[in-house]
Amino acid sequence: MIDEANLIGKAGDGFKIAMKTLDAGRIGVAGQALGIAQASLECAVAYSQQRKAFGKPIAGLQTVQFKLADMECKIWSARLLNWHAAKLKDDGHSFTKEAAMAKLVASEAATFCAHQAIQVLGGMGYVSTCPQSDITETHASPRSTKERARSSAW
């Protein structure tokens, strides 16, 4: 038995408190995923502006523009969901569902953006001296740290 003075909340509320902590953590994980997605976009934009094909930057190619636009849309969708979840939390409202949605959408955006950046960078996306290779190698799927740990153990 735990002494009353050492309890956090009321006796029997431990699971509920733990779940609330996880909800808040989901907002943080979504923020990390957004950073990965944003870094992927910035890397792809910078590379597409400097890399030339047929005498012009590849940023002018419609296919590249579509990729960059899709990345930006996914990032903003995830960012707005995360802000909404954080605002609900700050205002003292229930935010369990919104935090879970924000984490899901942001982690999917991070994975999508990392892979699209690889497409824009072409072979340079796989070269270890390129910043994008670090992003895709270690962070392409922030959705499940357990899955990453399991796959790297093999």
pLDDT on residue 11:
81
Q: Which of 62, 68, 69 is nearest to 117 (CA)?
A: 68
- Average pLDDT on 3-24 reads 81
In contact, 30 and 107? CB cutoff 8 Å: yes
**Strand residues in the chain grouped as ranges (E):** 52-53, 56-57
Which of 79, 83, 86, 97 has its CA nearest to residue 34?
79
What pLDDT shows up at residue 25?
93
- Listed residue (97, 84, 103, 93) closest to 32, CA to CA: 103
Give residue 52's pLDDT. 94
Closest listed residue to residue 27, CA positions, set 109, 84, 91, 111: 84
133 or 30, higher pLDDT = 30
Instruction: Select the more confidently predicted residue: 14 or 148.
Output: 14
Are 106 and 37 in contact by the 8 Å Cβ rule? The answer is yes
What the block records as the tokens of 116 is 């699209």
